[in-house]
Amino acid sequence: MMEINQDVTRRGFLKTLTMAGAAIAVLPMLPRAAHAAAGFEKVGAAGDFTVGDFKKVTRADGSSLYVTKKADGTFLALSSRCTHKGCEVLWSPGSKSFKCPCHNGQFDAAGNVVSGPPKTALPSPTTKVEGGSVLVQS
């Protein structure tokens, strides 16, 4: 009789331990899922970005964006995909522009076409700040 109670207790403990492990594994996914449900995803902390420079971030879908903090404290996000044929553009801090290595397309720091074959600006998803995090529209 005593052994049965100990076995039940041991099973109960292992079950509780398994459930706690599953909860711990799922917990880090909750904030991202909440933002995705609202149509925004976190790309970093507000303090990660500097006025006048762009930081490349990776989105949940694997695509990348360039994000910067503007002088007025808001944030600007620009797609890293060239609007000509989709090559990855590169931020050039010296010239404060984005250059496309494929056909020499060039965009200014606002994403507007400066020269080369691209006809349209880099797409710029909406950004917002919540709780010290920079969020970009999905």
Q: Is 112 in the site for ligand FES (CB under 6 A)?
A: no
In this structure, the chain runs to a length of 138
The residues, any chain, with a CB within 8 Å of residue 44's CB and separated by 6 or more, are 55, 57, 67, 133, 134
Q: Can you tell me whether residue 56 is helix, strand or coil?
A: strand
| Residue 23 structure tokens | 């909860």
Q: Is 78 in the site for ligand FES (CB under 6 A)?
A: no
Q: Which of 10, 56, 85, 96 binds ligand FES (CB under 6 A)?
A: 85
Q: Which amino acid is it at 111?
A: G
d(CA 31, CA 57) in angstroms, rounded, equals 18
Q: Is 82 in the site for ligand FES (CB under 6 A)?
A: yes
- Choose the stretch contacting ligand FES; rule: CB under 6 A; options: 1-9, 13-21, 37-45, 77-85: 77-85
Q: Is 102 in the site for ligand FES (CB under 6 A)?
A: yes
Q: Rounded to the nearest whole angstrom, what is the least distance from the CB of residue 98 to ligand FES in the complex? A: 10
**Angle, CA 48 vertex, CA 104 and CA 46 arms, to 5°:** 110
Q: Is 87 in the site for ligand FES (CB under 6 A)?
A: yes
Where along the sequence are the contacts to ligand FES (CB under 6 A)? Answer: 82, 84-85, 87, 100, 102-103, 105, 116-118
